[in-house]
Structure 1
Amino acid sequence: MKLKDKAVIITGGAGGIGSGMARAMAKEGAKVAIVDLNEEQGNAVLSELQEISPDSMFIKADLTEREKLHEIVDTVVEKYGKLDVLVNNAHASRQVNFEDTTQADMDFSFDTGFYPTFYLMQSAFPHLKESKGSVINFASGAGLEGQKTQTAYAAAKEAIRAISKVAANEWGEYGINVNIISPIAMTPGVEAWSKEHPETFEAIVSKVPMKRWGDPEKDIGPIAVFLASEDSNYMTGQTLMADGGSIQIR
């Protein structure tokens, strides 16, 4: 029970990597608050979580409403009396060639990924300072390698990495660690896409040294648990590649 009684926020927790991390953390004793716009799916995941961790909760929120983001942190602290871990997982974007990327495309990516990460970190800071807590943010190979059609997504993901490193340097003295996961995982969206484009999918999988995409709970979840636990207390500002060896940072 590495996360026993820790209070955790996970954005985008109603599906994919978010719900995988939520299950993994709940099984380690965490009280998990999943945040998502999809109420039906969020409540379905909550039912699963409450069988493992009865105090878990679902918060319906539109992360593009910046002025309301602090309410997420306030709600969690009011319920649990503290906040130990903030996981900024939610992010959406459109795939467009560089020359066709519009301001609207850039705004959509930053409004759903970068800005929620930034403002939630600011709102969470005083509470994480009290708990000597953790922030887990998300990067992507799209930004690390400059993948085609990912201009807006890559830009936002690298911006998230940048502010994560700044916060790691500034908040380290308070015992707060800030780290980043860069994953590859088989989510429902990826699975649907793989069935529509089987040849492209197989070509991508063949380039992964471990020859498979990760499982949100079994492969990404334990890394999130590690970063949220006392085991990672002396690690901050790092990007952990949970991608089967696809990108090897030097």
Structure 2
Amino acid sequence: MDKLKDKVIIVTGGAGGIGLGMSKAMAREGAILAIVDVNEEAGQAGLKILQEISPKSMFLKANLMDRENLPSIVTAVAEKYGRIDVLVNNAHASKQVTIEETTQADLDLSFGTGFYPTFYLMQAALPYLKESKGNVINFASGAGLNGHETQGAYAAAKEAIRGISRVAANEWGRFGINVNLISPIANSEGVQAWAKAQPEYYEAVRSKIPLGRFGDVEEDIGRVAVFLASEDSQYITGQTIMVDGGSIMLH
């Protein structure tokens, strides 16, 4: 259980859901986690769970829409641990409305919590990732790949993240840095709440997943994150990894 022994890993949106699930999976492999979240209460609760596995882990409260302060996240982690090995850009918020109804505020929320933090945190982390020959794990979505209705702002930001990830994979390969994406379907707290509120719709979606279930945030999504953060994936870069039970099969 030491695939990530002493690797320092930043995870945005790490206080719950997929972010915390990945963080736990990586901590169990020996990583030191720096989870970043806007929710102080959830962040402290998540940190308590993580520190039982990885005592050196930390929590940073940050509003990712505060663009000017994004580099300070990277600096704080680097100053505490002396290195950064992996950056995981997981956080993203959006509003579900049709394109016709989408406002500038809706676009600002999606790009402000998803695309811009991903871009600027990658930029800020680059000097440290060069030193460690590290990894970046970004997040894509079936909403962008398939163009799900009412997901215009979200899909646009997710596809923009895929675009810059491919560019970074090409530009940073010479430094030994891998940049990949996970496109998940996960049984997060939000999905669990949705299952209770709209059980018939939930069941209709679940039944279309070839493997017949939503992924576990730690055992399914988290284990793929461990792989992408480890030496096992050193010859993979610029790829979108579908961790969705077979829902989308890329050609």
CA-to-partner distance for each residue in 1:200-238, whole Å, 9 max, x for gaps?
010000100011000100100000000000011111000
- Using the alignment, how far apart are the partners of 1:139 and 1:80 within structure 2? 29
- Using the alignment, how far apart are the partners of 1:149 and 1:30 within structure 2? 37
CA-to-partner distance for each residue in 1:12-51, whole Å, 9 max, x for gaps?
0000000000000000000000000111111111111111
- Using the alignment, how far apart are the partners of 1:109 and 1:209 within structure 2? 29
Correspondences of 1:38-187 after superposition (within 5 Å): 38-187=39-188
- 2:187 corresponds to which letter in structure 1? M
Cα offset for 1:193? Answer: 1.2
Partner of 1:226: 227
Provide the TM-score with structure 1 as the length reference.
0.99
- 2:29 corresponds to which letter in structure 1? E
Correspondences of 1:231-250 after superposition (within 5 Å): 231-250=232-251
- Using the alignment, how far apart are the partners of 1:218 and 1:39 within structure 2? 25
Cα offset for 1:98? Answer: 1.5
Partner of 1:201: 202
- Where structure 2 has 5 or more consecutive residues not aligned to the other structure, the ranges are none
- 1:211 corresponds to which letter in structure 2? G
- Using the alignment, how far apart are the partners of 2:155 and 2:209 within structure 1? 20
- Using the alignment, how far apart are the partners of 1:226 and 1:211 within structure 2? 23
Cα offset for 1:6? Answer: 0.2
- 1:198 corresponds to which letter in structure 2? P
- Using the alignment, how far apart are the partners of 1:96 and 1:45 within structure 2? 31
Correspondences of 1:25-40 after superposition (within 5 Å): 25-40=26-41
- 1:74 corresponds to which letter in structure 2? T
- Provide the aligned C-alpha RMSD in A: 0.5
Cα offset for 1:93? Answer: 0.2
Provide the TM-score with structure 2 as the length reference.
0.99
Cα offset for 1:122? Answer: 0.2
CA-to-partner distance for each residue in 1:160-182, whole Å, 9 max, x for gaps?
00000000000000000000000
- 2:179 corresponds to which letter in structure 1? V
Partner of 1:191: 192
Cα offset for 1:183? Answer: 0.1
What secondary structure sits across from 1:153 in the alignment? Answer: helix
User: Percent of aligned positions with the same letter in both sequences?
Assistant: 70
Question: Do residues 22 (structure 1) and 23 (structure 2) align?
Answer: yes
> Number of paired residues?
250
What secondary structure sits across from 2:186 in the alignment? Answer: coil
- Using the alignment, how far apart are the partners of 2:99 and 2:184 within structure 1? 23
What secondary structure sits across from 1:90 in the alignment? Answer: coil
- 2:8 corresponds to which letter in structure 1? A
What secondary structure sits across from 2:64 in the alignment? Answer: coil
- 2:5 corresponds to which letter in structure 1? K
- 2:40 corresponds to which letter in structure 1? E
- Using the alignment, how far apart are the partners of 1:48 and 1:194 within structure 2? 25
- 2:221 corresponds to which letter in structure 1? I
- Using the alignment, how far apart are the partners of 1:159 and 1:22 within structure 2? 25
- 1:181 corresponds to which letter in structure 2? I
